[in-house]
Structure 1
Amino acid sequence: MEFAKFTGKTLDEALNAACNAKGCAKEELHYEVTEEKSGFLGIGKTIEIEAYCQKDIEDFIKSYIQTYFDNAELDGTVEIENDHGFYRITVNTKNNAIMIGKAGKSLQAFNRLVKAAVSAAFKKRVGLLIDVNGYKEERYEKICKMAVRVAKDVRRTKVDAVLDPMPADERKAIHNALAGMNDISTKSEGEGEGRRLHILYTPGKDEE
């Protein structure tokens, strides 16, 4: 994407121009000096920067998802919560079955698509998680209950268990759910979509 460009006689002046235009503090800006002219005998010196802020990332995400809806002729609204640079995106749509897919596979793929697009646009890794009509919260509750049952079996039989592959956010939810269990620990192994959570019998591990 094209970043907005700002100029000034000094870097500080260019940054101030960017802050005034975007309505943000300097600490929120991400910038790169794109051109620096020294002028003649120091007269007419200018610095040009490209700059964006977190609001620009939010606007890009909303626009990208809305364009997807429009092209697919789907209805939907988008809300974004900025959690210290991690973007939690809530999509409300009547077409939740299409967006979520079987076992959430379509939602996982869409999440990867949006993450790749925004990371490429801003030339850095951007963390985000998309939820559709509260599906993720229901999913977390379901898989955590399952994991607790499995962990109790592991503790009883002293035999480790391996869960089906699942995305990082779901593995994290289970890890947090089991963190307080005596004699139980968890770890993830595998690559990409095949990464699985292992529930391990760990004698002597106390409640956290």
Structure 2
Amino acid sequence: MTIYTGKTEEAAIAAGLTALNSRRDQVIIKVVATPRKGWLGIGRRDAMVDVVLKTVAVASSATPEPQSVASSSMASSTTPVKTAVASAEPVVAEPATDEAPTSSEPTVTPQERRKRREAAIESVQDYLATIVEQLGIDATIDVEAGAHRQVRLVFTTDKEGLLIGKHGRTINALQSLAQLFLNHHGAAHVELELDVANYRERRAATLSRLAESTAREVVATGKPIYLDPMPSFERKQIHAVLSKNRYVTTYSAGKEPHRAVVIEPA
């Protein structure tokens, strides 16, 4: 196995192609590890890929053939050259087109996908526990299954404020990291939520009050109002609260991480 690394999978593959002086269609690529950005430098990891020439892979699978060459040449001493040529033909790289898809695109059953999701959820708990410990927070994590493909990880700690952070920035950052972790570990369709001390419920009530009071101000002044930047799941709550208000309309503006909800007269 020859491992090549890079900040992204494509960068690692490019390093392998450069080292082998080959094109992408001439090699078999296997992703050994996906990259991780980490958080505050913790848990960072480069992408790692195994890049092997197709001709090398085929030649290695045909290693038994030289024995038949030797035996044939010993059995028929009158035509040693023809025997060697005939037995060497299977080493040609033609079978590579049949073997490559099998190694690069394996079939995954629903049962295997479920096992991967369960393993990813267990792994993300260890990942978060490491980060929280580095922050100096002693906490335990419990898993609460929600609706279909929804999972809540609930922290229990005596440093709730430190874990939540100002305006929820710390726990929101942890949630974003955890979601990315799942996306790269076989659980891309799992929607993850982190919570501590019922913060999510209290935050939802605060956002609801904010949406309604801001809508009243917009109607009174006739002018649009930009709310503070929020993560996407909180912006969705604002949109949902005001979706049936016929006097105002809402939309999101700006680029992440400074994207915000705009409330304006209908």
Structure 1 equivalent of residue 113 of structure 2: 52
Question: Deviations 1:162-183 (Å, cap 9, x if unpaired)?
Answer: 1010111211111111122221
Q: Distance in 1 between matches of 2:264 and 2:228?
A: 15
1:70 positional shift: 4.7
Structure having the larger proportion of residues in helix: 2
Superposed, 1:164-175 pairs within 5 Å as 164-175=228-239
Q: 2:213 and 2:107 mapped to 1: Cα distance?
A: 59
Q: Which has the larger radius of gyration?
A: 2
Aligned residues: 162
Matched residue, 1:150: 214
**Structure 1: which 5+ residue stretches go unaligned?**
3-32, 37-46, 203-208
- Contact preservation (8 Å) 2:137, 2:159: no
The verdict on how the C-alpha distance between 1:150 and 1:49 changes in structure 2, with shifts beyond 3 A counting, is closer
* Length-normalised TM-score, structure 2: 0.53
Q: Deviations over 1:169-200 (max 9, x none)?
A: 21111111112222112111111110100112
Out of 128, 131, 137, the residue aligned to residue 68 of structure 1 is: 131
Q: Name the CA shift for 1:94/1:101 in 2 (closer, same or farther; >3 Å).
A: same
Identity of aligned residues (%): 24
Question: For 1:104-155, what per-residue CA distance to the aligned partner results, in whole angstroms no more than 9, with x for missing partners?
Answer: 1111111122122222222846532211211121111112212211101111
- Supply the AA of the counterpart residue of 1:173: Q
SS at match of 1:122: coil
In the alignment, the residues of structure 1 paired with residue 137 and residue 218 of structure 2 have an alpha-carbon distance, to the nearest angstrom, of 47
Which is bigger in relative contact order (C-alpha 8 A, separation at least 6)?
Answer: 1
Residue number in structure 2 paired with 1:185: 249
1:52 aligned partner, one-letter code: R
Change (3 A) 1:73 1:88: closer
Per the normalisation by structure 1, the TM-score is 0.66
Q: Report if the CA contact (8 A) 1:34-1:49 is conserved.
A: no
* Structure-2 separation of matches of 1:110 and 1:142: 21
Alignment root-mean-square deviation, CA: 2.8
